[in-house]
Amino acid sequence: MESLALLATLIVSIAFIGGPLSFLLSRLLTRKGRTLSSFGKVVTLIFALPAIAVGLYLILLDIGLGARIMGAIGVMTGLLAAIRILRK
């Protein structure tokens, strides 16, 4: 049972931490007119894409409202970061 709890924590943390972290990276690395380097784009997308995928997974599951909200936060912030990166 402990391993199941650890797995659930890992899944939720990917969406709940990865999305805002990717958004924060995209905001910090494009501040004051600086363009984002290709390495920064890759790092940001490495955090954003799994956050979007796991967030959608959490939203579509038949589980509690709290997990769906965490998934929505991951999806929204991950999409914002990905759009911000791909536009520049």
Left, alpha or beta for 32 (phi > 0: left; psi -120 to 50: alpha)? left
Domain boundaries, the chain: 13-87
pTM score: 0.84
The pLDDT of 3-10, averaged and rounded, is: 88
Task: For residue range 32-56, list pLDDT tens digits in order.
Answer: 666 667 788 888 999 999 999 999 9
> Does the pLDDT value for residue 12 go beyond 90?
no
Task: For residue range 56-80, list pLDDT tens digits in order.
Answer: 999 999 888 988 999 999 999 999 9
Task: Check residue 48 and give its pLDDT.
Answer: 93
Taking the C-alpha atoms of residue 34 and residue 16, their distance in angstroms, rounded to an integer, is: 27
